[in-house]
Amino acid sequence: MRLLVVEDDPDLNRQICAALTDAGYAVDKAFDGEEGHYLGENEPYDAVVLDLGLPKMDGISVLESWRRTGKQMPVLILTARDRWSEKVQGFDAGADDYVAKPFHMEEVLARIRALLRRSTGHASSELVCGPVHLDTRTSRVTVDGNPIRLTSHEYRLLSYLMHHTGRVVSRTELVEHLYDQDFDRDSNTIEVFVGRLRKKLGVDVIETIRGLGYRLSQPTHAP
């Protein structure tokens, strides 16, 4: 899953990005409203963390512009604790949730997980496909109860497919949602990661749809 953090405070931006990266997400960052607006307009993010008090273009204007052009990614806004009017403005502009500063990073992570679950139609923090279980809270993956060790890219791939179980996901979509902006993207590496993932999981849950991409579905046979 690929996220965007738009926050002008360098230290806070870095802290949020580091926490989200550690949690298994690909993360892009922007330090002003214009840059954030451009990235959100042109890149396919699964969710955005958006500060409202931004230079060059304020967060409300950024959000309103995204919604006017049909951008539907979930947006978590950051507001000053005593500015209740900002929260109202944010929701009216199209925000999905908010966190008041100062905040605990765990709360931001929990709210992002919830936004991602809701946007892909999942009610629980644990995603399940046959014997494969992925706990989004702990980034823990098990098969038949046995823990599976995955690299960060293997985890992102599995997480994206499990958030979109049953839907055919193209290689291009996977590339766009698994890597941050600075990563040297190559759709051929997706095949490598899928191969590794299949081997580690040991169950037939990732289906190749020739010419279209991949689909996660219930295993066709027991491991």
Report the distance separating Cα 47 and Cα 218, nearest Å: 27
What amino acid occupies position 91? Answer: F
What average pLDDT does the segment 130-137 reach? Answer: 93
Least-confidence region, from 92-96, 162-166, 168-172, 180-184: 180-184
- For 64-94, what is each residue's pLDDT tens digit? 999 999 999 999 999 886 778 888 989 999 9
SS3 129: strand
Confidence of residue 108 (pLDDT cuts 50, 70, 90): very high
- Cα angle for residues 128, 26, 10 (degrees, 5° grid): 135
Please indicate, yes or no, whether residues 7 and 74 belong to a single structural domain of this protein. yes
* 175 and 67 fall within a common domain: no
Do 8 and 98 lie in one domain? The reply is yes
Does residue 208 form part of some domain? yes
Which residue range is the domain that position 178 belongs to? 126-216
Q: Does residue 144 fall inside a structural domain? A: yes
Question: Of 94, 119, 144, at which residue does a domain stop?
Answer: 119
Confidence of residue 145 (pLDDT cuts 50, 70, 90): very high
pLDDT of 190: 87
16 and 99 in a single domain? The answer is yes
What pLDDT is recorded for position 184?
A: 63
Query: Given a cut of 70, is residue 220 above it in pLDDT?
Result: no
Do residue 110 and residue 9 come from a single domain?
yes
Number of domains in the chain: 2
Of 87, 119, 151, which marks where a domain is finished?
119
| Cα→Cα distances 171→28, 176, 210, Å | 20, 9, 11
Tell whether 94 is covered by a domain.
Answer: yes
Mean pLDDT computed over every residue of the chain:
91
pLDDT above 70 (res 186): no
Residue 185 has pLDDT above 70, yes or no: no
pLDDT surpasses 60 at 162? yes
Whether the per-residue pLDDT at 47 is higher than 60: the answer is yes
In a domain, residue 130? The reply is: yes
pLDDT of 179 above 90: no
Non-local CB neighbours of 59 within 8 Å, separated by 6+ positions: 6, 33, 50, 51, 52, 53, 77, 90
Do 169 and 81 share a domain, yes or no?
no
Considering the domain architecture, whether residues 103 and 155 belong to the same structural domain is answered as no
Would 223 be classed as within a structural domain?
no
Write down the pLDDT at residue 222: 45
Nearest to 136 by CA among 121, 119, 117, 150: 117
Both 105 and 10 in a single domain? Answer: yes
Residue 53 belongs to domain with CATH number: 3.40.50.2300
